[in-house]
Chains A and B, each alone.
Chain A
Amino acid sequence: MTRTKLTRRAFTGSLLATSALSACAVQTAPAKAHVVVIGGGFGGATAAKFIRLEDPGIAVTLIEPKSEFVTCPFSNYVIAGFKQIGEITHNYNALTGTHGVRHVRDIAVAIDPATKTVRTGSGQSIRYDKLVVSPGIDIRWGAIEGYTEAAAEILPHAWQGGAQTLLLRRQLEAMPDGGVVALALPGNPYRCPPGPYERISVIAHYLKTTKPRSKILALDAKDAFSKQPLFQDGWNALYPGMIEWVPLNKDGRITQVIANERTLVSEFGQRHRAAVVNVVPPQFASKIARDAGLANPDGGSAGWCPVDPITFESTRIKDIHVIGDASIAGAMPKSGFAANSQGKFVAKAIAAALNGRPAFAPVYANTCYSLLAPDYGISVADIYRATPQGIVAVQGAGGVSPRTPADAAQFRHLEATYTRGWYSSATREIWGT
């Protein structure tokens, strides 16, 4: 006990109140610094691992209440019935066992930048030298009138992987042939720009193969969307007459739900009653980031967190880096791929800062694959550089899959194959050994 106390005192003081660490601390040299990561998704789990790879002398604590993470990418395929939830569920064993990240299974409830501590739900106070905040999104409950947590048990959002994913799956399974599946889709920005349209596509695939008289009605708060011509070409080819997409300018924006009647109400009062209703609601940065003052309080980007384009350090609070969907990352979309890319570069930026090395210019990347059917894939890709104007896509590079490639069937087949390849590689890199 005395020995543990001495060891703790020898620590730089940054690791106070970390009882679980003592076993490791007794045996190894004191860490040069302590980085705390909030959130174990694509951004946070990547950052935690890569900080350890950049410099094993830096101690890393991951604060994440869950023992297993269900990814939002690929959850559309669980909803459509061609993936099982177990195939998109990952644990933190490699992160803790192989990479020496300490996992505190608790929720971060407050950040105090003055004392550089994170307080957890169970009352732990964890000190940091640098903090990475990668908490993802929260639903803006009530932004659509009547869309509450209780309403989401009847009209699932399924925009966070897990129970909501399975709820929407069960509703589709229970729906009789000939039913209408209605979706209410949000304005920008939101998590995974092509995600709603991939969901429409793979639900159509499920309905075509099992309940072919059914229809899909997509009510959108936007007039345009990611990879739109590619999606609409695919819908016409694969699911003719099955999908109706209603844009903003045709009164597509949903402003109210009546949950117990499974009814969506548009801005101008049209009512759409459906057998299954999926609401992809307006979102903002998760609570911990907003409560800490990391998010913009007002303006067009209210609720999202502004960051330095090179280091992803918050422009509002020093020594706190915000990555992933919660951040405002310029031209980069809110995607798992982007968060993974940001996690690697924030690890480099933090390791450089803690070792007194200068920062460097990052080159971010993104590739968002979408499946329109299990054998039909499309993509959008970009390379991004940090400029004085923020993070911008490199002109002349990137872009979407060609609309009319020479051998279209083979091209879409290959991209469907690479969709699965990306998921396998990315999740192995983040949560694998």
Chain B
Amino acid sequence: MRSVIATAAFVASLLAGAAAAQAQQAAPIPGSVLAATCSGCHGPAGRSVAEIPPINGRTEQQLLSAMLDFKNDRRPATVMNRHAKGFSDDELAAIAREISANWR
């Protein structure tokens, strides 16, 4: 069962990687564009006041490692694992840069 899940996750990551690679043949998408929907749940400037964790005031490295861990199912998640798989590693890095630099 474990190997089935691992295989499924591996195939999923290949597919996600392919889709992301395809999308990236054009110019890289700026972090400000990629990060625009994050505030839908995490609140304006990432300052969630409700039960969803705020994401402002974190370092680039904290944000990136969290998102990579979500993407690779190394960190428990409800929905962030499903979101993170929609982006390439470079795109997650751009999101982390944008939020750490501009979301206060």
Contact = CB atoms under 8 A, between A and B. Distances in A.
Interface string B27-53: 101100110110111111000111110
Interface string A247-266: 00000000000000000000
For the residues of B in contact with A, the DSSP-based class is helix
B79 A425 contact: no
A337 B27 CA distance: 27
Contacts of B79: 367, 379, 381, 401, 415, 418
Contacts of A429: 39-40, 43-44
A422 B41 contact: yes
A361 interface: yes
Nearest to A400: B82
- Max count, chain A CB within 10 A of own CB: residue among B13, B36, B51, B82: B82
Contacts of A379: 78-79
Interface in A364-390: 364-365, 367, 379, 381-383, 385
B6 interface: no
Given A344-B36, A385-B19, A361 B78 contact: no
A420 interface: yes
Interface string A400-418: 0100000000010011011
A430 to B, nearest CB: 9
A425 B29 contact: no
Interface in B1-33: 11-16, 18-20, 23, 26-27, 29-30, 33
Interface residues of A, number: 39
Contact of A341 (B27, B40, B48): B40
Nearest to B49: A424
Contacts of A385: 19, 23
Contact of A418 (B18, B19, B20, B41): B41
Contact of A394 (B11, B30, B49, B86): B86
Contacts of B74: none
B15 A395 contact: yes
Interface in B70-90: 78-79, 82-87
Given A361-B26, A397-B83, A420-B50, A426 B16 contact: no
A425 B43 contact: yes
A9 interface: no
Contacts, number: 128
B19 A399 contact: no
A411 B78 contact: yes
A131 to B, nearest CB: 22
A364 B87 CA distance: 11
A305 B85 CA distance: 30
B40 A426 contact: yes
- Max count, chain A CB within 10 A of own CB: residue among B42, B49, B52: B52
B78 A341 contact: no
A293 interface: no
A420 B87 CA distance: 26
Given A341-B37, A363-B36, A415-B78, 11 more contacts: A341-B40, A360-B33, A381-B82, A385-B23, A396-B13, A397-B85, A417-B51, A421-B50, A421-B51, A421-B52, A425-B40
Interface of B: 11-16, 18-20, 23, 26-27, 29-30, 33-34, 36-37, 39-44, 48-52, 78-79, 82-87, 91
21 contacts: A341-B36, A341-B40, A363-B23, A363-B33, A363-B34, A365-B37, A367-B40, A383-B87, A394-B19, A394-B85, A395-B16, A396-B19, A397-B16, A397-B82, A398-B82, A418-B51, A418-B79, A420-B51, A425-B41, A426-B41, A428-B49
Interface of A: 337, 340-341, 344-345, 348, 360-365, 367, 379, 381-383, 385, 394-399, 401, 411, 414-415, 417-418, 420-422, 424-426, 428-429, 432
